[in-house]
Structure 1
């Protein structure tokens, strides 16, 4: 159980939640019995805190941002580079990237907790840039899968969890806003990379190889800056040398939350993979369709900030997550009706706002369920790794649903997205009730 202190010695909403979550669940108390009550000071500002937030933002721009804008490359591979390959096969490239962000979380989180984030971020940078460079000389499908898929996935996975979880060591009162700000880096990247790729490939006549090399060099510069900026707060303690797997899987609230996130991840990312080919299928030019991915990320950028601010202001993290998931489900079903260029753009903005908000808010919720701040990285890592098995199948499942419709039938894929979000929203609601019936969280 953690009692946070703000600079003015007042308990903020997030601080009260940390305290309340430790008091209101007898079933969780057993898993927390081995931990002493700590009086932890959260700076919520200062040079080291803000530099860590900036570093996390740059890391997300370089790594996860490339994944967020990946639909432009999927579309390019389908139409130009790998026209003989099935779309469901090509979808494995982006799906493996997304899986890597989640699957390697448990090891990245553990490395970050034990040795600080620098090691994990540094090694992740090597694999991220290596993947881009090797993809630039790839010619066949399996080469793209190994380089842009698995190699970049390992790099993204080693970057994702430390860059995100470390923020909760520095911020409590502003946690929702800061995590949203850091995760908005993926949306900035999701805007930059498609626009850059579109200009190089479709206007300047640059080859795919040199486009990927240019992106790789930019990623290298961003990640060097991020690695130097991000700073750990707590020293290594032998008390937490053992990965808290038993505690994690004996906490009913955490288990339910993880199940909800896993189901959500089966569907929420599908539009991010298919917005570009979907727009082209409905009459958009290749150039405009490339910008649809940027528009989706622009909406997500707003969502990351907005929901974090709302959650911090008194609405609560779990309340915000539950309501937003229901709203995102409604918009996902509305995707079926977006069949013209203007409608697709409007839909992309709204879905981007809501789905971006979901991506930004789940980590603060999971961090609140962690017994102590020293193991927030591991706690997030375990949950993210479990969810990785869902995201691994996201692209291929969507591609298979699309193929069943002869390559033109997006409706089954769209309905699948909405259904997974409805189910996850219901479980999020049940988790919120289990956490506390008499407190606004």
Structure 2
């Protein structure tokens, strides 16, 4: 009897220590609950492919000086990095009428598609490296690549110059910035992650507002022109990226035995797979107006100056789309917010751009609406991904998703150029194509949500 009581006494605390509390489980980011799977074999499969243990995460600061300095540093880094991405329409419009005037829109589009492809695809290794070693050396390498690319960009004259400098060097440099800046914010915020990520990613919108205005003024100055205009912008990037290097840091310790190699097994988790497909289609659609809205404005007979300003208007809308939805995404759910934004993009394409884009009020309204919706997609997508994994593996999941999405960035602009050429310079088919991509993305966001919480449309997720 005594031995039996002693055994019970020893076993009781063991059970208490190993069973996580329900409140801790609710606060933990992880893959969908296995208990929801009715089929025992499916449950076994889910357990076998899950790459992360379901363990409670430590408390998040949710604020404080260090946390907000990380947000500020990420804002500065994305001002320079995403600011370049949001200005590719200006670069494409300029070089297509100057240095590369003899090349087709589709050929020139490959320069910027290669840039966006590498900016996201290289993250397939950068994300795991961030999880293992932190952001400091990644950002330092990014600073060197981006600033060097801007200086070399200013003296490019041949097609292959632009491919190597803007496409390869600049794309790789921006990739070294994106994942560390966004993932570091997630280390300090969980309940307010949408709002904090929105503030950080708003730097890209501000960059997209400042750069076209700045470059238009510099390019039109006879004493400066293209060369010094790009160099001055490069010095601005150097100052901003120095702030990112100083302030962006991670909080969680490196994961034990973490690998720097990508893990394709996480695609066996259905919510993550469906989310990746939805983001792929959304980014495919989004980069078409980003890449062609300036050329579209010129094709409709508007001045070159207005074609620069319309991109600024779109990025101004993107600023509000990144900041405000981040606040209510923390309340109604990141997936719900992204789904709503994608639906608004469908309306923008079929109800505004297609019938009224040839008019000045029409293209301005479209730029504002698609800017708001696209800004929401850009800022909330990382939050959606973070809901599917533990925070210490956020870099790996984010980079794995966008390594696939990068293919859409690679083919999007050239396919858009081919559609324009096939329609003898008319843009109506490109607009319809963009709208269809948004429709498919909208459907896949609904499917991704249902894979986690079922077909409960009003569920906060």
TM-score bracket for this pair, using the shorter chain length: over 0.9
In the alignment, does 2:268 pair up with 1:250? Answer: yes
In the alignment, does 2:443 pair up with 1:426? Answer: yes
Q: 1:150 to 1:176 in 2, by over 3 A?
A: same
SS of 1:41's partner is coil
1:95-174 aligned within 5 A: 95-174=113-192
Q: What residue is the counterpart of 1:3 in the other structure?
A: none
In the alignment, does 2:376 pair up with 1:357? Answer: yes
Q: 1:311 to 1:29 in 2, by over 3 A?
A: farther
Verify the 8 A CA contact 1:282 1:341 in the aligned structure 2: no
Structure 1, residues 264-314: CA drift from partner, whole Å, max 9, x if none? Answer: 22211100111111112222211121111111000001001121111112x
Unaligned residue ranges in structure 1 (runs of 5+): 1-10
SS of 1:112's partner is helix
**CA RMSD after TM alignment:** 2.1
Q: 1:326 to 1:36 in 2, by over 3 A?
A: closer
Measure, in 1, the Cα distance between the counterparts of 2:263 and 2:213: 42
Measure, in 1, the Cα distance between the counterparts of 2:62 and 2:52: 28
Q: What residue is the counterpart of 1:375 in the other structure?
A: 393
In the alignment, does 2:125 pair up with 1:91? Answer: no
In the alignment, does 2:361 pair up with 1:342? Answer: yes
In the alignment, does 2:343 pair up with 1:326? Answer: yes
In the alignment, does 2:87 pair up with 1:69? Answer: yes
Measure, in 2, the Cα distance between the counterparts of 1:46 and 1:21: 31
Unaligned residue ranges in structure 2 (runs of 5+): 1-22, 38-42
1:386-401 aligned within 5 A: 386-401=404-419
Measure, in 1, the Cα distance between the counterparts of 2:67 and 2:409: 31
Measure, in 2, the Cα distance between the counterparts of 1:415 and 1:231: 43
Q: Displacement, 1:38?
A: 2.3
Q: 1:236 to 1:87 in 2, by over 3 A?
A: same
Q: Displacement, 1:318?
A: 1.1
Measure, in 2, the Cα distance between the counterparts of 1:210 and 1:242: 40
Q: What residue is the counterpart of 1:415 in the other structure?
A: 432
Measure, in 1, the Cα distance between the counterparts of 2:185 and 2:173: 20
Measure, in 1, the Cα distance between the counterparts of 2:117 and 2:52: 33
1:279-294 aligned within 5 A: 279-294=297-312
Q: Displacement, 1:18?
A: 3.1
Measure, in 2, the Cα distance between the counterparts of 1:33 and 1:264: 27
Q: 1:327 to 1:34 in 2, by over 3 A?
A: closer
Q: 1:267 to 1:19 in 2, by over 3 A?
A: closer
Verify the 8 A CA contact 1:24 1:436 in the aligned structure 2: no
Measure, in 2, the Cα distance between the counterparts of 1:119 and 1:435: 36
Verify the 8 A CA contact 2:86 2:290 in the aligned structure 1: yes
Verify the 8 A CA contact 1:15 1:173 in the aligned structure 2: no
Q: Displacement, 1:34?
A: 5.7
Q: 1:178 to 1:379 in 2, by over 3 A?
A: same
Q: Structure 1-normalised TM-score?
A: 0.92
Measure, in 2, the Cα distance between the counterparts of 1:280 and 1:42: 49
Q: Displacement, 1:245?
A: 1.3
Matched residues, number: 428
